[in-house]
């Protein structure tokens, strides 16, 4: 087991005599990290769902009445998965040809709104209520284990709910500089960077004061104070392991951030991460750019999957066996083009899930030619008369289930989409 | 000293246990001014808690309270999002984008400041027949404005003035997509001013209704479908007021994208075709709408909710109704005087409580509050004289994304703050403490110093533990930094002596030893929590 910062602190404290370390129960008794990790990729703006839910005639090329497909596109298909293939998006062909066995598509996902803010909240939490943490925060906060950075948001949405201590927002360069302390050399009035063992001795005293503070609290105050202790522990461990992580050696692009996210998962530093998918997805006009944006995204997704499949995992042979990829957006877009060759907001969208525990080569849910969802059997994900309209809540609770949580405790009364799980 | 406060229960057990006198004043000062009280004030309150009322009035009169008003309103308006919308060069300005973004984002927030500063009723937020501007904003939005700072101003493009309802910043922040016909804006008005978010209502449609929207005229289907009308019957008439601001900002120039167009006021006929109105009452124009909003009881309720949540760090629930009603009465009886409202909140036993024995209330009461990014910056600066900045911009400016990392918002991607201690917040506190400590040590231990010491008043380069001066200095540091003296039997002086000695042994530099000691004190939980 990797020595933790907390042990170093305890050692330092022991040297200095009796302290209150033992008085407070830490959540940081670290065990081998077994649960699946989750990487969320989010296209802010509401992506055009038709590339992942194409509507063509029987010949795979001709148009249908209810939906306008992008010019020069045709049906792409491998196994059960299909997409809109075109010269502006060859990476989609490449991705599905390589990774169809590890990938599932969810179609006709109801986000219950045609507004960005509400759709985003629905997509990420399965509710419209503000008190709920989003899926990755919940997965990280209730992992049953402790991570220094439970859920890191490199970019994209974040809903802390009541689990803000599990959420590390604004991840990326600044966070890394904070962790390694180098930021103090870059401010307008710089200071020398702290070095161990000075840092360790200071941390031990801070921890002792925090423990004493926690002892004085009750109710929600006690909860917050214990969160402080747990977070201090996480922060100190991060500082101690920064070199191990190799953080700071990667760039700031989408693929760089994705790889960094999976690296911190591999090192047991985080369970979840969120990375925003670059691009202008709110295409009320000029939808013709979507093909190129999809091409960029699938190029990086292909590279990410290659990285996962070729990198040894922490608890499994390969990272791809322990990391779940969830690519989504807060809205879909209208099936027909508007006057500006754009698409407006639409409450049904498509999602892509891949990796550990996902039933590959599977499509759950479906829409008709007018891009309206058919009801589905949540146990199989297949269309069924009298079934349920697939919603964000069903997929989110499926992810909680995949993560080993009892979804009923977090979103009672919602049946998970088990059809997408292996 | 722990005082028992009012109990709403009749039994002998107190429902609420108050903070100690010092802690009450620290909470009040941090909430209203963003800094700790002076030691003189803390000594006074320690001797006489009855002075609390006087300090409330003193702090409400402090200009820093107006900064807090802006910050609290921004949690609803979300206009401080760092956007400029247009190249400032189009307005003949040679200033940084960040400076323009500051001015643009502050237009509605400075009106709130003006209202509170001049003891005007909160309804002025929608009734003001002027806007607010500084020279940068005046140039950007082409406003009549005088002076160097923020002042009242007027648009020159002939638009009616109705506070935040007619500000260019408001409608750039909340644009309307063509087919959405200002409904996004109408919902923003409802959410911000009435605390009623249409988009928070779950939408549930029959399949046949969706089919009808797809195959037919969407506006006609909305008009004919009861499910749609549950929202649109009030939303669409509200949206009809804003067509004078019907800008297509995509690729538009500054004038085209900001000037009011009276000729477009009736474009609602071409869209939802619902006459302007406010919940069933026809309106003549946007100023008429403003009057109705101001008189809507939900407007006052929303103000109470906004300030209550801003000051208590918790979301209101139905269970808070009794508490909110007290503040609502005070607010209404004072003709929507914000300082009276805030006074009511900070004088309440709940606000001053350390804990409660009421299990139901214990689920909601936040007895330990966390410094937000603005407060962390200002509290540390007030104590140490040091401001952590990057090219002049600090944590509260969200420089380097620090405000978001510390649990704040950027008003765009992150619109809800978090008050839980996160890795980001603690890392910032740690590095800020380190930097500030070096600033203080560099100043205070400078043999050539002529000014008063900032914090290290008892020691010099030559002071070593266990000198008496060392312990006096440690005790003084805790008072200066946390506002709370150490107990007589406290181990901190001895532990700090060990730390000082260890660091000094490692590098032989007393400055570094003092900086380490001070940084530990600045990371104290009694500073982060209040």
CATH number at residue A348: 3.40.720
- Contact with chain A for residue B315, Cβ under 8 A: yes
Can you tell me the mean pLDDT for B369-397?
96
Using CB atoms, pick whichever of B179, B204, B315 lies closest to residue A130: B315
Domain containing residue A45: 33-172+251-420
State the Cα–Cα distance between residues B508 and B519, nearest whole angstrom.
18
Confidence at residue A32, expressed as pLDDT on a 0 to 100 scale: 30
Question: Is A22 a domain residue?
Answer: no
B389 and A284 within 8 Å at the Cβ level: the answer is no
Confidence at residue A14, expressed as pLDDT on a 0 to 100 scale: 45
8 Å CB contact between A308 and A318:
yes
Decide the pairing of beta strands A348-355 and A323-329.
antiparallel
Indicate whether A194 and A338 sit together in one domain.
no
Please check the confidence at residue A136 and state whether its pLDDT lies above 60. yes
Residue written as tokens 């009892």?
A406
Confidence at residue B506, expressed as pLDDT on a 0 to 100 scale: 87
A128 and B199 within 8 Å at the Cβ level: the answer is yes
Instruction: Give the model confidence (pLDDT) of A86-120 as tens digits.
Output: 999 999 999 999 999 999 999 999 998 888 888 99
Confidence at residue A47, expressed as pLDDT on a 0 to 100 scale: 98
Smallest CA–CA distance from B401 into chain A, residue: A170
Using CB atoms, pick whichever of A155, A168, A209 lies closest to residue B423: A168
Write the ipTM.
0.88
Query: Which chain A positions have a beta carbon within 8 Å of B529's beta carbon?
Result: 213, 224-225, 228
Higher model confidence: residue A250 or residue B149?
B149
Count of the separate structural domains present in chain A:
2
Higher model confidence: residue A32 or residue A232?
A232
Token pair in block for residue B213: 């929207």
Confidence at residue A285, expressed as pLDDT on a 0 to 100 scale: 85
Indicate whether A276 and A234 sit together in one domain.
no
Token pair in block for residue A175: 């966070």
Question: What confidence tier does A242 reach under pLDDT thresholds 50, 70, 90?
Answer: low
A61 burial type by CB count under 10 A (0-12 exposed, 13-18 middle, 19+ buried): exposed
Question: Is A177 a domain residue?
Answer: no
A188 and B389 within 8 Å at the Cβ level: the answer is yes
H or E stretch at A4: none
Residue written as tokens 């140039």?
B139
Domain termination residue (choose one: A208, A230, A249): A249
State the Cα–Cα distance between residues B192 and B197, nearest whole angstrom.
8
Residue written as tokens 């502050």?
B106
Question: What confidence tier does A131 reach under pLDDT thresholds 50, 70, 90?
Answer: confident
Residue written as tokens 């039997």?
B489
8 Å CB contact between A211 and A20:
yes
8 Å CB contact between B425 and B417:
no
Can you tell me the mean pLDDT for A184-202?
86
DSSP H helical segments within B157-200, as ranges? 168-173, 183-194
Indicate whether A224 and A214 sit together in one domain.
yes
Confidence at residue A130, expressed as pLDDT on a 0 to 100 scale: 73
Residue A48: CB partners within 8 Å, gap ≥ 6? Answer: A281, A283, A287, A290, A332, A333, A343
Confidence at residue A117, expressed as pLDDT on a 0 to 100 scale: 82
Return the minimum-mean-pLDDT range out of A234-243, A279-288, B298-307. Answer: A234-243
Question: Is A44 a domain residue?
Answer: yes
Indicate whether A281 and A324 sit together in one domain.
yes
Q: Where are the beta strands (DSSP E) in B176-335?
A: 277-278, 281-282
What pTM was computed for the model? 0.82
Instruction: Give the model confidence (pLDDT) of B124-179 as tens digits.
Output: 999 999 999 999 999 999 999 999 999 999 999 999 999 999 999 999 999 886 66
Instruction: Give how far B2 is from chain A: nearest CA, Å.
Output: 13
Domain termination residue (choose one: A249, A282, A298): A249
Identify which of A72, A70, A64, A66 has the alpha carbon closest to the alpha carbon of residue A51.
Answer: A70
Kindly list the distances between the CA atom of residue A244 and the CA atoms of A39, A203, A260, B55, in Å, as whole numbers in the listed order: 21, 20, 13, 51
Return the minimum-mean-pLDDT range out of A50-54, A72-76, A147-151, A196-200. Answer: A196-200
Question: What confidence tier does B2 reach under pLDDT thresholds 50, 70, 90?
Answer: very low
8 Å CB contact between A73 and A312:
no
Buried-state track B75-106, b at ≥16 Cβ within 10 A, e below 16: bbbbbbbebbbbebeebebebeeebbbbbbbb
Identify which of B388, B426, B415, B239 has the alpha carbon closest to the alpha carbon of residue A232.
Answer: B426
Question: What confidence tier does A13 reach under pLDDT thresholds 50, 70, 90?
Answer: very low
Kindly list the distances between the CA atom of residue B158 and the CA atoms of A257, B135, B144, B154, B262, in Å, as whole numbers in the listed order: 49, 20, 12, 9, 8
Identify which of B184, B113, B172, B163 has the alpha carbon closest to the alpha carbon of residue B141.
Answer: B172
Question: Is A181 a domain residue?
Answer: no
Question: Is A308 a domain residue?
Answer: yes
Token pair in block for residue B78: 């979300």
Can you tell me the mean pLDDT for B393-401?
89
Please check the confidence at residue B227 and state whether its pLDDT lies above 90. no
Distance of CA A402 to the CA centre of its chain: 14
State the Cα–Cα distance between residues B337 and B120, nearest whole angstrom.
7
Binning chain B into helix, strand and coil, the percentages to the nearest 5 are 55, 5, 40
Indicate whether A299 and A408 sit together in one domain.
yes
Kindly list the distances between the CA atom of residue B327 and the CA atoms of B57, B298, B303, in Å, as whole numbers in the listed order: 17, 14, 10
Indicate whether A163 and A194 sit together in one domain.
no
Indicate whether A231 and A243 sit together in one domain.
yes
Identify which of B495, B497, B475, B494 has the alpha carbon closest to the alpha carbon of residue B486.
Answer: B475
Confidence at residue B204, expressed as pLDDT on a 0 to 100 scale: 65
Q: Tell me which residues of chain A, numbers 277 to 296, contact chain B at a CB-CB cutoff of 8 Å.
A: 284-285
Question: Is A56 a domain residue?
Answer: yes
Question: What confidence tier does B443 reach under pLDDT thresholds 50, 70, 90?
Answer: very high
Angle value at C-alpha A336, between A333 and A338, nearest 5 degrees? 90
Distance of CA B99 to the CA centre of its chain: 19
Buried-state track B211-250, b at ≥16 Cβ within 10 A, e below 16: ebbbeeebbebbbebeebeebbbbbbbbbbbbbbbbbeee
Dihedral sign (CA B458, B460, B464, B467): negative
| Percent of chain B at pLDDT exceeding 90 | 80
Instruction: Give how far B152 is from chain A: nearest CA, Å.
Output: 32
Question: Is A184 a domain residue?
Answer: no
Indicate whether A63 and A143 sit together in one domain.
yes
Confidence at residue B211, expressed as pLDDT on a 0 to 100 scale: 60
B367 and A220 within 8 Å at the Cβ level: the answer is yes
Residue B446: CB partners within 8 Å, gap ≥ 6? Answer: none
Please check the confidence at residue A25 and state whether its pLDDT lies above 60. no
Confidence at residue A17, expressed as pLDDT on a 0 to 100 scale: 42
- A 10 A CB-CB count for A178 gives 27
Indicate whether A146 and A196 sit together in one domain.
no
Indicate whether A287 and A145 sit together in one domain.
yes
Using CB atoms, pick whichever of A131, A178, A206 lies closest to residue B523: A206
8 Å CB contact between A250 and A129:
no
Mutate to test the interface with B, among A149, A152, A202, A337 (most CBs of B within 10 A): A202
Domain termination residue (choose one: A203, A232, A249): A249
- A 10 A CB-CB count for A354 gives 25
State the Cα–Cα distance between residues A177 and A97, nearest whole angstrom.
40
Question: What mean pLDDT value characterizes chain B?
Answer: 92
Question: What mean pLDDT value characterizes chain A?
Answer: 87
8 Å CB contact between A5 and A30:
no
Question: What confidence tier does B206 reach under pLDDT thresholds 50, 70, 90?
Answer: low
Please check the confidence at residue A4 and state whether its pLDDT lies above 70. no
Indicate whether A55 and A164 sit together in one domain.
yes
Identify which of B64, B67, B138 has the alpha carbon closest to the alpha carbon of residue B103.
Answer: B138
- Contact with chain A for residue B424, Cβ under 8 A: yes
State the Cα–Cα distance between residues B126 and B298, nearest whole angstrom.
14
Indicate whether A279 and A393 sit together in one domain.
yes
- Contact with chain A for residue B321, Cβ under 8 A: no
- How many residues in total does chain A contain? 422
Residue written as tokens 């910043």?
B169
Question: Is A5 a domain residue?
Answer: no
Q: Tell me which residues of chain B, numbers 441 to 500, contact chain A at a CB-CB cutoff of 8 Å.
A: 492, 495-496, 498-499
């Amino acid at each position: 087991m990797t020595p933790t910062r907390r042990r170093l602190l305890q050692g330092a404290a022991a040297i200095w005599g009796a302290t209150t370390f033992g008085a407070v129960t830490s959540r940081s008794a670290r065990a081998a990290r077994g649960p699946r990790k989750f990487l969320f990729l989010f296209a802010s703006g509401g992506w055009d769902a038709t590339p992942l839910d194409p509507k063509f005639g029987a010949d795979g090329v001709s148009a249908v009445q209810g939906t306008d497909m992008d010019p020069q596109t045709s049906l792409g298909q491998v196994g059960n998965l299909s997409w809109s293939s075109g010269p502006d998006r060859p990476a989609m062909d490449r991705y599905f040809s390589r990774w169809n066995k590890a990938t599932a598509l969810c179609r006709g996902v109801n986000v219950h709104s045609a507004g960005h803010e509400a759709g985003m909240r629905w997509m990420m939490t399965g509710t419209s209520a503000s008190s709920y943490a989003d899926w990755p925060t919940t997965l990280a906060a209730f992992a049953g284990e402790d991570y220094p950075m439970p859920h890191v948001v490199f970019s994209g949405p974040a809903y802390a709910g009541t689990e803000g201590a599990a959420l590390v927002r604004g991840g990326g360069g600044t966070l890394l500089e904070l962790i390694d302390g180098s930021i103090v050399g870059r401010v307008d009035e710089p200071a020398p960077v702290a070095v161990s063992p000075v840092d360790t001795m200071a941390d031990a005293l801070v921890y002792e004061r925090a423990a004493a503070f926690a002892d004085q609290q009750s109710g929600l105050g006690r909860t917050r104070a214990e969160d402080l202790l747990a977070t201090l522990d996480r922060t100190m461990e991060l500082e101690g392991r920064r070199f191990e992580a190799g953080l700071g050696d990667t760039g700031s692009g989408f693929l760089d951030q994705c790889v960094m996210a999976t690296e911190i998962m591999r090192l047991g530093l985080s369970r979840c991460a969120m990375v925003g998918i670059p691009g202008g997805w709110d295409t009320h006009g000029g939808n013709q750019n979507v093909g190129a944006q999809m091409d960029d995204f699938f190029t990086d997704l292909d590279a990410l999957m290659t990285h996962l499949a070729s990198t040894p995992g922490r608890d499994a042979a390969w990272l791809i066996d322990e990391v779940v990829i969830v690519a989504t957006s807060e809205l879909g877009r209208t099936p027909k083009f508007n006057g500006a060759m754009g698409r407006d907001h639409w409450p049904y969208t498509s999602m892509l899930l891949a990796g550990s525990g996902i039933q590959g080569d599977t499509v759950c849910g479906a829409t008709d030619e007018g891009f309206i969802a058919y009801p589905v059997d949540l146990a199989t994900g297949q269309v069924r008369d009298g079934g349920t309209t697939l919603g964000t809540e069903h997929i989110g609770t499926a992810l909680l289930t995949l993560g080993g949580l009892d979804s009923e405790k977090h979103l009672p009364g919602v049946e998970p989409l088990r059809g997408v799980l292996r | 000293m722990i005082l028992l406060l009012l109990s709403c229960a009749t039994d002998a057990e107190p429902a609420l246990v108050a903070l100690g006198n010092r802690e009450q004043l620290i909470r009040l000062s941090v909430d209203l001014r963003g800094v700790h009280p002076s030691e003189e004030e803390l000594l006074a309150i320690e001797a006489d808690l009855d002075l609390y009322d006087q300090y409330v009035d003193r702090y409400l009169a402090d200009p820093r309270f107006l900064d807090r008003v802006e910050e609290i309103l921004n949690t609803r308006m979300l206009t401080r999002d760092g956007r400029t919308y247009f190249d400032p060069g189009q307005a003949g300005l040679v200033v940084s984008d960040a400076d323009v973004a500051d001015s643009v984002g502050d237009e509605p927030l400075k009106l709130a400041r003006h209202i509170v500063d001049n003891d005007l009723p909160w309804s002025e937020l929608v009734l003001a027949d002027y806007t607010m501007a500084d020279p940068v904003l005046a140039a950007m939005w082409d406003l009549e404005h005088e002076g160097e700072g923020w002042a009242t101003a007027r648009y020159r493009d002939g638009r009616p003035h109705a506070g935040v309802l007619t500000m260019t910043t408001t409608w750039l922040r909340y644009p309307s997509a063509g087919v959405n016909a200002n409904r996004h804006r109408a919902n923003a008005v409802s959410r911000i001013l009435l605390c009623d978010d249409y988009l928070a209502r779950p939408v549930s449609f029959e399949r046949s209704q969706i089919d009808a929207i797809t195959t037919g005229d969407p506006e006609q289907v909305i008009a004919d479908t009861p499910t749609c009308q549950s929202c649109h019957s009030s939303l669409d008439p509200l949206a009809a007021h804003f067509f004078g601001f019907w800008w297509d900002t995509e690729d538009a120039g500054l004038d085209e994208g900001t000037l009011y167009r009276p000729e477009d006021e009736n474009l609602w006929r071409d869209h939802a075709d619902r006459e302007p109105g406010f919940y069933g009452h026809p309106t003549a124009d946007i100023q008429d709408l403003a009057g109705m909003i101001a008189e809507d009881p939900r407007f006052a309720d929303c103000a109470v909710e906004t300030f209550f949540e801003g000051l208590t760090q918790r979301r209101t629930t139905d269970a808070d109704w009794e508490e909110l009603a007290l503040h609502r009465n005070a607010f209404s009886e004072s003709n929507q005087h914000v300082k009276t409202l805030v006074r009511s909140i900070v004088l309440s036993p709940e606000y001053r409580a350390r804990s409660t024995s009421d299990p139901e209330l214990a689920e909601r009461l936040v007895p330990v509050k966390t410094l937000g990014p603005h407060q962390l910056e200002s509290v540390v600066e007030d104590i140490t004289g040091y401001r952590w900045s990057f090219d002049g911009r600090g944590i509260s400016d969200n420089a380097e994304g620090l405000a978001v990392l510390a649990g704040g918002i950027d008003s765009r991607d992150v619109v809800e703050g978090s008050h839980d201690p996160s890795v980001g917040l603690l890392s910032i506190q740690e590095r800020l403490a380190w930097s500030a400590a070096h600033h203080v040590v560099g100043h205070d231990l400078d043999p050539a110093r002529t000014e008063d010491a900032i914090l290290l008043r008892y020691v010099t380069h030559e002071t070593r533990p266990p000198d008496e001066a060392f312990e006096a200095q440690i005790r003084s540091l805790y008072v200066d930094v946390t506002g709370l003296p150490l107990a007589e039997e406290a181990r901190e002086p001895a532990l700090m002596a060990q730390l000082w000695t260890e660091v000094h042994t490692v590098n032989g530099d007393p400055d570094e030893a003092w900086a380490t000691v001070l940084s530990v004190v600045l990371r104290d939980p009694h500073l982060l929590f209040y």
